[in-house]
Amino acid sequence: MDVRIIICGLGRVGQAFVGLLIQKDKDLKKRYDLNLKVVGAVDIGGAAVSSSGLPLEEVMAHLKKGGRVEEMSGFGKKGLTGKDVLSSVPADLLVETTPTNIKDGEPGMTHMRTALTLGRHVVTAAKGPLVIRYNELKELAKKSKVKMMISAATAAALPTLDVGLSCLAGTEVLTAEGILNGTTNYILTRMYEEGTPYKDALAEAQKMGVAEPDPSIDVEGRDTANKILLIANEVFQGGLSLGDIPVEGITRVTPEEIQKAKKEGKVIKLIGKAERKDGKVVASVAPMPLPANHPLASVRGTEKAISYLTDTMDRVTVSGGKSNPVGAAAAILKDIIRIYQN
């Protein structure tokens, strides 16, 4: 089966996805009967388009040399926007990997709205549009009878949604608890295991590239809030918005609190939690002291994990998954395979 793809965003995740298409091409055809062709690749200055499919190895070589897609000979179109390409190039699916923008969701919002309105599947790694307009986009997908898949936006390679939606089918999910941010878990692990002060652990994480130069979205709990919001809305059908979620990060966690918890046989972790309570779905983000036998207590370093409590399967926990562009790209590829397997 031929699948024509338009990619919007050729940063680290977008390029990792193109690399996977090259690497996995034969396997995708053999195992899944999928011939994935990129007919449009859009970035900030323009696009490269080809109705028969772009030569991906040439695209990657061009980008690695510092070139821009709009400069590619025979394919480049300067100034062409994502909306332009989606509106003019026949395609089956949008892969959205533009930078996350929590303020207004752009440009991903426009890309996703356009694709869904035109009856094209959407697979996205961008959290912004989903956090701001989840219900609207979900309704658009339903109206157009297409899929909107968001695995890469909810902890990248960690299969948070696959477990909650597929593996636990037929159960009632009562609670979801997750360590959904590798940066904060690394810092808390260092504070717990070595007694490292928060500021020193953060500086260490930044030096290693684990934390961004501006780590506020991570350490203030906002990244975890974005992810638990999407899990609550997908798995619990919560219909929540960010304003419904109280958020506390790790910036005020002291070594004394860490050591006190340690003496009590507990470990403090930043937990995103969603649950059914008094007939409603509620969610929160906060540092929590977990008992040693809790399945999330042993999740160390930059590892992430999700733990679901159900009525009939009891507790199911999954941890691991790459927290890098390749992991996010792999989640995108997985979602595409799922669309066409179903």
Contact 217, 223 (CB under 8 A): yes
Domain region containing 48: 2-157+325-341
Residues 173 and 314 placed together within one structural domain of the fold? yes
Residues 147 and 177 placed together within one structural domain of the fold? no
* Active-site option among 77, 138, 147, 227: 227
- Provide φ and ψ at 211, rounded to 5°: -110, 145
Strands (E), 205-265: none
DSSP 47-88: EEE-TT---HHHHHHHHHTT--GGGSTTTEEET--HHHHHHH
State the pairing for strand pair 46-49/76-78. antiparallel
Q: How confident is the model at residue 325 (pLDDT cuts 50, 70, 90)?
A: confident
Q: Look up the CATH number of the domain holding residue 35.
A: 3.40.50.720
What's the structural domain count of the chain?
Answer: 2
Summarize pLDDT for 32-74 with one digit per residue, the tens: 999 999 999 999 999 999 999 999 999 999 999 999 999 999 9
pTM confidence score: 0.90
Residues 191 and 105 placed together within one structural domain of the fold? no
Residues 76 and 99 placed together within one structural domain of the fold? yes
Residues 297 and 337 placed together within one structural domain of the fold? no
Summarize pLDDT for 69-127 with one digit per residue, the tens: 999 999 999 999 999 999 999 999 999 999 888 888 899 999 999 999 999 999 999 99
Distance CA 259, CA 252 (A): 14
**First and final C-alpha spacing in the chain:** 13
Distance CA 175, CA 193 (A): 28
From the CB of residue 242, how many other CB atoms can be counted at a distance below 10 Å?
15
Residues 92 and 140 placed together within one structural domain of the fold? yes
Q: Look up the CATH number of the domain holding residue 259.
A: 3.30.360.10
Residues 219 and 144 placed together within one structural domain of the fold? no
Residues 88 and 152 placed together within one structural domain of the fold? yes
Residues 306 and 260 placed together within one structural domain of the fold? yes
Residues 11 and 80 placed together within one structural domain of the fold? yes
**Which residue in 296, 293, 250, 251 sits closest to 273, CA to CA?**
296
Residues 173 and 202 placed together within one structural domain of the fold? yes
Q: How confident is the model at residue 322 (pLDDT cuts 50, 70, 90)?
A: low
Residues 187 and 114 placed together within one structural domain of the fold? no
Q: Is 304 a catalytic residue?
A: no
In this model, does residue 162 exceed pLDDT 80? yes
